Amino acid sequence: MVTVIFEPYGRKVEVTGNETILDAAMKCGVVIRSICGGKGACKKCKVRIDKGEVKLLSEEAKLEDGTLLACQVVPVTDCVVYVPEESRLGVQKVLHKGKVRPEELDPWVRKEYKDGKVVIIYREDGRIIDERDKDFKPLGLAIDIGSTKVVTYLVDLETGKILAEAYDINKQVIYGDDLMSRIEYCIRNKDGYKDLHNAVISCINDLIRRLVAMSRTKVADIVHVVAAGNTVMTYLFLGRDVRGFADAHYEVEKGSYRANARDLGLLTCKNAPVYCLPCVGRFLGGDIIGDILTSGMWKSDDIQLLIDIGTNTHVVVGCRDWYIATTGPGATTFEGYGVRYGMKAMEGAIERVVIRDGKVEYQVIGNVKPIGICGSGLIDLLAELFVNKIIDSQGKLRKNHPNVVERNGKLEFIVVPASESGTGKDITIDEQDIKNLLESKASVCALITTLLKKVRLDLSDIKRVYICGAFANYLDLNNAVKIGMIPEFPNAEIEYIGNGSIAGAYLVLTNYKYKDVVENIAENLTYIEMINDSDFVDEYIAATTIPGKKEYFPTVWSLVS
Ligand code: FES
C-alpha cells in the first residue's frame, strides 16, 4: 500500500498493487482528462511526479516534455503528483439553455383537496404521491443527462416558470471522458455500472441542493422528475448494467422508462415518479427524441433535417410521422482527441480564430492565456488556413507563411507562440492533427449526405435544418461549410435549437400530452446503421478533402477556384 498526494488539490489516497496514478486520481475524486479511458492513446492525462518513484507500464508513458501519462504509471513508493493545468478538467463552457416554447401548462401531477389537506395525485396511475397543506406548491425537475455535463431546471408546476437552473460536469468523467471508456470501465469492474450510477446521482443531488438554495424552496417539494439522455446515460441513471452496449448487436429495451425517485437515490419527495424520454437504439436515446420534440419537426409537413454533433453525431431527416435517423462517430477530434493542442470548450481554450493580413488573431474562453484550442476554434482555424492557402485541399501545409515551421521532420503551424501561451510552449497544429480533423468532419458530412441518398432526397429538398448540441451552437456555420463539414442547403433555413435534451425534458415535464408525442416519435423513428455501408464509405472518402464534392459545396468551390 502506498500513498499518493495530488497537487495542487492536496488530496491524498492509498493505492495497492497495479493501480495507476489515473486510478488513484479517480479514487479520490481528482478529475484528470482521460479521453481514451486509460489506454495510453489520447495523451491527455499528463502528470508530473514531484516526489517518489513510479513504474512505467509502456514505452509511451514518458512524453518528450518529461511529463508522464497518469494511466501508464504505477506508484511504487509514496508519491506527490502534480496535475498540470492542461490535464485538469475545468468548468466547461456549457450550453444549458434549450429553446423552451411557451406552451399551455398541463403537468402530470394534480392537486386535490381532502379534509383541509392537499393530496398530490399522479395522473399516470392515479396514485397519491404525497399529502401536504393547502399552500403547497408542487415543483418538477427537468434533467439533461449528458455524458460530459448534467443540466437541470427546477420548475414551478403551477406556472411552468423555471425557478432556477444549474449545471455541472457529469461526475462520471473520472471513469472516462467518452461513452466507450465508461462501458469498458463497467466491463473491467464487476459492479462498475453501480459506480457510474452513484456518480451521476451524486452529481444530480448536488445540483438539486443548489437549485433549492437558489429558489428558496425545499427538496421535498419536487414531486415529479423528467430526464433525457443518450441510451447509455439513461441506463446508468436508472442503475442498469451497460456492459451489453459493447456488443454492436445489443438490443436495448425500446420505449420510455419509469422509476421512483426513492429507488434511484434522488433528493426529492421520496415518492416522486421519474420519467425518462424514450430510447430507440444503442446510440439513439432520449436526448435526440428531445431534439425532435423541441425542434417541432414532428408537426411539420415540410421535410426537415436535424444535426446533433456531440460525443456522437446524430442526423435525423423527416417530417410529421416519419423520421429516419443515423448515428456515427462524434466529432471527438474537435473535443481534443487526436489533436495535440485540442481541448474541450473550457477556460483557456481558443474558441475563435481569424487570420488577418497573415497574422493570427484569436479569442480565448475566460480571457486568460490560451492553453489549447476547442472545437469551434479548430473549425475556424482549418477554414482560415484553407482560405488563406496555408493548407491545400488535402490538408497539407505549405511553407508560404512564417508560422509554418519544420520540427523533427514534420511541418506545423504555430497558432500561438510560447511567449503568449499559458503553458509556456507554442500552441501548434500539424499535418497529423489536420488529417484527424478532416476525418472527423468527413464523417459528419458523409452521415448527412448518405442518409439523404438512402431516402432519395437532395440537399435542395430540405426546407429547414436544425443544429443542436453545445458544440454545434458555438461553431461558425460559414466556416463549418467552408471546411466541408456541413453541406450547403440551398433552400433551407438554418435554426440553432440549443440544448434540445433539456428543453425536451422541460416540455414533457410541463405538459402531459408531450409524453404521447415523444413516444410516437420513438415509435415512428427508423434507425439506419451506416458505419459499414458502402455508400457511406464512398461519401466519407470524398469528404476527407476540403471542402469535398463540388455538388455539395458549389459556393465554396466558386470562392476558392
Ligand atoms: S493516454 Fe492516459 S487516459 Fe488517454
Q: How large is the average pLDDT for residues 308-314? A: 84
Cα angle at 385 between 476 and 377, to 5 degrees?
35
32 C-alpha to center of ligand 1: Å?
9
Superfamily of domain 109-293: Domain of unknown function (DUF4445) (3.30.420.480)
pLDDT in tens, 427-468: 999 999 999 999 999 999 999 999 999 999 999 999 999 998
**Does residue 176 line the site of ligand 1, with CB under 6 A?**
no
> Of ligand 1's atoms, which has the minimum distance to the CA of residue 70?
2
C-alpha cell at 123: 395522473
402 C-alpha to center of ligand 1: Å?
33
**Does residue 89 line the site of ligand 1, with CB under 6 A?**
no
| pLDDT above 90 (res 420) | yes
**Does residue 47 line the site of ligand 1, with CB under 6 A?**
no
pLDDT in tens, 173-211: 888 877 888 999 999 888 999 999 999 999 999 999 999
Q: How large is the average pLDDT for residues 157-174? A: 90
- Best residue for ligand 1 mutational test, from 20, 30, 32, 36 (most atoms within 8 Å of Cβ): 36
| pLDDT above 90 (res 529) | no
Cα diameter, the chain: 84
71 C-alpha to center of ligand 1: Å?
6
Mean pLDDT of the chain: 90
413 vs 28: which has the higher pLDDT: 413
428 C-alpha to center of ligand 1: Å?
20
pLDDT in tens, 84-94: 877 876 545 54
> Of ligand 1's atoms, which has the minimum distance to the CA of residue 40?
1
**Does residue 43 line the site of ligand 1, with CB under 6 A?**
yes
Task: Please report the DSSP string for 116-184 in residue order.
Answer: TEEEEEETTT--EEEEEETT---EEEEEEE-SSEEEEEEEETTT--EEEEEEEE-GGGGG-SSHHHHHH
Residue whose CA is closest, atom 1 of ligand 1?
Answer: 40
C-alpha cell at 275: 420519467
Task: Please report the DSSP string for 366-427 in residue order.
Answer: TSS---EE-HHHHHHHHHHHHHTTSB-TT--B-S-STTEEEETTEEEEEEE-GGGSSSSS-E
Alpha-carbon gap, residue 45 to 32, rounded angstroms: 6
**CB 308 within 8 Å of CB 323:** no
440 C-alpha to center of ligand 1: Å?
20
| pLDDT above 90 (res 481) | yes
User: Class of the 2-87 domain?
Assistant: alpha beta
pLDDT in tens, 338-391: 899 998 888 889 999 999 999 999 999 888 999 999 989 999 999 999 999 999
193 C-alpha to center of ligand 1: Å?
21
**CB 547 within 8 Å of CB 379:** no
CA distances from 553 to 393, 478, 481 (A): 13, 11, 8
Residues in the chain: 561
Any idea what DSSP says for residue 334? G
- pTM (two decimals): 0.83
User: Class of the 295-332+437-499+507-560 domain?
Assistant: alpha beta
What are the start and end residues of each CATH 3.10.20.30 domain in the chain?
A: 2-87
What are the start and end residues of each CATH 3.30.420.480 domain in the chain?
A: 109-293
What are the start and end residues of each CATH 3.30.420.40 domain in the chain?
A: 295-332+437-499+507-560
337 C-alpha to center of ligand 1: Å?
10
Count of alpha carbons within 13 Å of 559, Cβ hemisphere only?
16
**CB 32 within 8 Å of CB 87:** yes
**CB 81 within 8 Å of CB 74:** no
